[in-house]
C-alpha cells in the first residue's frame, strides 16, 4: 500500500516528495480535453494535479446530485492516477475560485441558516452533500492505492471568519465519511488569517496562498508553524501565476520572466501548486463576481487566467519557461513534449431564423402568478434570466415607475417598447414615460449577472436575485405579476416562425455543417449582450463592454454534420452572419495592467 505522510518533509512511501502541482478544474474543461491538460501537466515535469469541488453544480437543486459528464469527478481523478499523477482535492463547502457564489448552492439562500458557520442547519446540508461526495472520493485515496494524497478542510477561511467550531465540524464530517489522508487548510500567509483559518492545533497542515514574495510569505508561515511546535514542510497551495478578469476592464497580464523568478524563489524553499495551470472556461452562468465597496463587479466567461496553458489548453510562453526552469532545478525529472490542439475557422455563417423573446416566452419558461413579485430563488430560478410581467392602468399622460430593490440588471419595456436599462447602481431611479393606452403591459427582464464569490458579501442580501421588494407606479406598489422562469434547456421548443421586432431581446439561430470538428471561438463583437448555445450547450455570456470579443467553444460541443448555434441577445444588436475564428479576439480597452 502506498503511503503519504507529513513530517519534516512530505513523504511518499517514506521518501521525501516535493509536490510540484498544477490546478486543473475538471468542471471548467470539456471532458474530452481532460487527457490533453493532464498530459501537458505531466510533460512539464510536475507530479500532482489539484482541483476544487464545487458544491453548487453537484447539488444544483436540493437533494438532486449530479456527477456525470463534465462533473464526473471520479473519472477525472482516475485519469490523473493512470498518468501517475498524484491528486490534491479541495472539497470544502466553499471554494471561491471566481466561481458563482464561491461554489455554494444558491438554494441555501431560501434556508434560514448562516453559511460557512457552525449553524447546525448549515452543517446538516453540508453533511448530506458530503455523504454523497465522499462515497466517490474516499475509495480514491492513497490509503486505498488511489491517487489522492491530501484534502482541504475549508478554503481561505481566515479571510472570512474565525468560527473554529465550524472548522472542527467539517473536519469531523470528513473523518466520519472515511477521509484518512492528511488534511490541510490554505490561507494568506500572515498571522491574522493563519490564526483565524488554520487548525494547526489538530495537527492539520497550514499552507499559504500568494503569487509573489515567496521568501517573505514562507518566513511568516514557518514562524506560525514554529510557534505551535511544528517542523513541517512549507507549501504554497495557490501560487497565482496570473489573475482573473472582469467585464469592462483590461486583461490582467503577468510577465513571464518575473513569474519564473518568483516560482524559483518558492521552489527553493518548499512545494508549489500553480493556480491556475489550466484555467478553462466559466461555462453557462458560472462566472463569479467581485465586490468593491457597495458595488458588485461580475467576472467574464473566460477563465484563461494568464495560466501556463491558455483557455484552449495549449502551452503558452509561460509553460515553456516553467518547463526549462524545472529542468534546470531538477535535471533528473522526466519531462515530455506537450500536446497542442488545432483550431478551426468558419466564416460567413448566415442567419437562419430569428424570433423575439416576448413572442416565445411561453415556449421556453415556466410561469408563476403571484400578487407581489418574487425573487428568483423563491421560484427556484438560481441562474440566468427571469421575465416579470404585469398590466398597469393609465392614471396620467406621464407615468413614473420605480423598481424597488432588485438585482442585477433590469430591462424595462412598456407595450413591447424599451424604456430603460438599469444596473445595480441605477435600480430604484425614476422611470418616466408617456402613456397613451388605458391598459398597458409592463415587462421587466432581470438578469442575474453572477453572485459574489469572496468576502463578507457572501452573506449580503444582494446575493438574492430578481425583484426582491416590488415595482411602484407613482407612489404605490403594482400588484398581480406573472413571472416567467426562463429555461434555456427548452430552446428546441422555440417557434422561430413567430414575430421578431427591433430593440427587443431575441433568439438568433445559425446552422453550419462541420466535417471535422475542432476547437474554435465565436466572434461576438457584432452583438450586444447575452449568451451563446452550441447544440444546446450554454458556453457562456458575452458583452460588448469587453475585454473579450469571443467565446471559446471546445470541439467536444461540436459534432460532425449539421450544428446549431443559438444566440440569445438582449440589446437588439445582432448580425446577419457570424464567424468562428481560430484564436481569441480582444476589445481595445485601456493599457493592460500588471499584477505584483
Catalytic annotation present for 156 = yes
Out of 154, 238, 311, 377, the active site residue is 238
Residue with cell string 452583438: 527
CA distance 164 to 369: 44
Is 575 in contact with 528 (CB distance < 8 Å)?
no
Is 20 in contact with 14 (CB distance < 8 Å)?
no
Is 397 in contact with 468 (CB distance < 8 Å)?
no
For the chain, the residue count is 596
Percentage of residues in the chain with pLDDT exceeding 90? 96
CA distance 449 to 549: 18
Domains 346-353+489-581 and 365-486 share a fold: yes
Residue 193 has pLDDT above 50, yes or no: yes
Hey, is 228 helix, strand or coil? coil
Of the candidates 59, 67, 71, 60, the one whose C-alpha atom is nearest the C-alpha of residue 31 is: 71
Phi, psi of 385 (to 5 degrees): -125, 155
Q: Indicate the class that CATH gives domain 346-353+489-581.
A: mainly beta
Out of 156, 311, 447, 569, the active site residue is 156
| Residues 394-417: tens digit of each pLDDT | 999 999 999 999 999 999 999 999
Residue with cell string 468576502: 455
- Parallel, antiparallel or unpaired: strands 148-155 and 86-90: parallel
Catalytic annotation present for 50 = no
Beta bridge partners of 440: 392
> How many alpha carbons lie under 13 Å from residue 71 in its C-beta half-sphere?
14
Residue 115 has pLDDT above 50, yes or no: yes
CA distance 380 to 382: 6
Range 456-480 average pLDDT: 94
Cis peptide before 276 (omega within 30 of 0): yes
Residue 85 has pLDDT above 50, yes or no: yes
Residue 379, C-beta contacts closer than 8 angstroms, at least 6 positions apart: 368, 386, 466, 483, 485
Out of 3.30.450.20, 3.65.10.10, 3.20.20.80, 3.40.50.300, the CATH code matching 4-95+122-277 is 3.20.20.80
CB atoms inside a 10 Å sphere around CB 178: 14
Q: Where are the alpha helices (DSSP H) in 308-455?
A: 317-329, 357-360
505: which 3 cell numbers?
A: 431581446
| Burial of 119: CB neighbours in 10 Å, binned 0-12, 13-18, 19+ | middle
Residue 98 has pLDDT above 60, yes or no: yes
Is 315 in contact with 128 (CB distance < 8 Å)?
no
Is 517 in contact with 489 (CB distance < 8 Å)?
no
Q: Where are the alpha helices (DSSP H) in 387-515?
A: none
422: which 3 cell numbers?
A: 438599469
pLDDT for residue 595? 33
| Residues 501-543: tens digit of each pLDDT | 999 999 999 999 999 999 999 999 999 999 999 999 999 999 9
pLDDT for residue 590? 63
| Residues 233-247: tens digit of each pLDDT | 999 999 999 999 999
Q: Indicate the class that CATH gives domain 365-486.
A: mainly beta
Is 580 in contact with 518 (CB distance < 8 Å)?
no
Percentage of residues in the chain with pLDDT exceeding 70? 99
Residue 453 has pLDDT above 90, yes or no: yes
pLDDT for residue 461? 82
Mean pLDDT taken over the chain: 97
pLDDT for residue 471? 98
Range 98-104 average pLDDT: 98
Q: Where are the domains of the chain?
A: 4-95+122-277, 346-353+489-581, 365-486
pLDDT for residue 593? 42
Residue 592 has pLDDT above 50, yes or no: no
CA distance 27 to 280: 9
Amino acid at each position: 500500500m502506498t503511503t503519504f505522510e507529513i513530517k519534516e518533509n512530505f513523504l511518499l512511501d517514506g521518501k521525501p516528495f516535493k509536490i510540484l502541482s498544477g490546478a486543473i478544474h475538471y468542471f471548467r474543461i470539456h471532458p474530452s480535453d481532460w487527457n490533453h491538460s493532464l498530459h501537458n501537466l505531466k510533460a512539464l515535469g510536475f507530479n500532482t494535479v489539484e482541483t476544487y469541488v464545487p458544491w453548487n453544480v453537484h447539488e444544483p437543486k436540493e437533494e438532486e446530485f449530479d456527477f456525470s459528464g463534465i462533473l464526473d469527478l471520479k473519472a477525472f481523478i482516475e485519469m490523473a492516477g493512470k498518468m501517475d499523477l498524484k491528486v490534491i482535492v479541495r472539497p470544502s463547502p466553499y471554494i471561491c475560485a471566481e466561481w458563482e457564489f464561491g461554489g455554494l448552492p444558491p438554494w441555501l439562500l431560501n434556508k434560514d441558516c448562516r453559511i460557512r458557520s457552525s449553524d447546525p442547519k448549515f452543517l446538516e446540508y453540508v453533511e448530506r452533500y458530503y455523504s454523497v461526495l465522499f462515497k466517490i472520493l474516499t475509495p480514491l485515496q492513497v490509503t486505498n492505492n488511489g491517487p489522492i494524497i491530501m484534502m482541504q478542510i475549508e478554503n481561505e477561511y481566515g479571510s472570512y471568519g474565525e468560527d473554529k467550531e465550524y472548522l472542527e465540524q467539517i473536519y469531523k464530517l470528513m473523518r466520519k465519511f472515511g477521509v484518512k489522508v492528511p488534511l490541510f487548510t490554505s490561507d494568506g500567509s500572515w498571522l491574522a488569517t493563519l490564526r483565524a483559518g488554520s487548525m494547526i492545533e489538530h495537527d492539520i497542515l497550514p499552507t499559504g496562498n500568494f503569487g509573489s514574495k515567496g521568501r517573505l510569505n514562507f518566513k511568516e508561515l514557518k514562524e506560525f508553524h514554529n510557534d505551535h511546535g511544528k517542523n513541517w514542510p512549507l507549501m504554497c497551495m495557490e501560487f497565482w501565476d496570473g489573475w482573473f478578469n472582469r467585464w469592462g476592464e483590461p486583461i490582467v497580464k503577468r510577465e513571464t520572466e518575473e513569474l519564473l523568478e518568483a516560482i524559483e524563489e518558492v521552489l527553493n524553499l518548499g512545494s508549489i501548486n500553480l493556480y491556475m495551470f489550466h484555467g478553462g472556461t466559466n461555462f453557462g452562468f458560472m462566472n463569479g463576481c467581485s465586490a468593491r465597496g457597495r458595488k458588485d463587479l461580475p467576472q467574464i466567461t473566460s477563465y484563461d487566467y494568464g495560466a501556463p496553458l491558455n483557455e484552449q489548453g495549449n502551452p503558452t510562453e509561460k509553460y515553456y519557461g516553467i518547463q526549462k526552469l524545472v529542468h534546470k532545478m531538477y535535471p533528473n525529472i522526466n519531462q515530455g513534449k506537450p500536446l497542442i490542439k488545432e483550431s478551426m475557422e468558419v466564416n460567413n455563417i448566415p442567419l437562419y431564423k430569428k424570433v423575439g423573446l416576448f413572442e416565445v416566452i411561453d415556449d421556453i419558461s415556466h410561469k408563476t402568478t403571484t400578487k407581489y413579485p418574487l425573487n428568483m430563488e423563491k421560484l427556484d430560478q438560481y441562474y440566468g434570466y427571469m421575465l416579470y410581467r404585469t398590466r398597469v392602468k393609465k392614471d396620467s399622460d406621464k407615468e413614473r415607475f420605480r423598481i424597488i430593490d432588485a438585482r442585477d440588471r433590469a430591462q424595462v419595456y412598456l407595450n413591447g417598447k424599451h424604456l430603460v436599462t438599469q444596473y445595480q447602481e441605477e435600480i430604484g431611479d425614476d422611470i418616466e414615460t408617456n402613456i397613451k393606452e388605458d391598459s398597458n403591459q409592463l415587462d421587466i427582464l432581470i438578469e442575474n449577472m453572477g453572485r459574489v464569490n469572496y468576502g463578507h458579501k457572501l452573506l449580503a442580501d444582494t446575493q438574492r436575485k430578481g425583484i426582491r421588494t416590488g415595482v411602484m407606479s407613482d407612489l404605490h406598489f403594482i400588484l398581480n405579476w406573472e413571472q416567467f422562469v426562463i429555461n434555456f434547456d427548452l430552446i428546441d421548443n422555440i417557434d422561430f416562425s413567430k414575430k421578431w421586432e427591433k430593440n427587443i431581446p431575441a433568439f438568433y439561430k445559425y446552422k453550419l455543417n462541420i466535417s471535422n470538428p475542432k476547437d474554435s471561438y465565436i466572434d461576438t463583437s457584432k452583438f450586444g449582450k447575452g449568451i451563446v448555445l452550441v447544440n444546446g450547450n450554454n458556453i457562456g455570456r458575452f458583452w460588448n463592454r469587453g475585454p473579450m470579443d469571443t467565446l471559446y467553444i471546445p470541439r467536444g460541443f461540436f459534432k460532425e454534420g449539421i450544428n446549431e448555434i443559438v444566440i440569445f441577445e438582449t440589446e437588439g444588436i445582432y448580425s446577419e452572419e457570424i464567424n468562428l475564428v481560430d484564436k481569441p479576439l480582444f476589445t481595445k480597452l485601456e493599457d493592460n495592467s500588471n499584477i505584483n
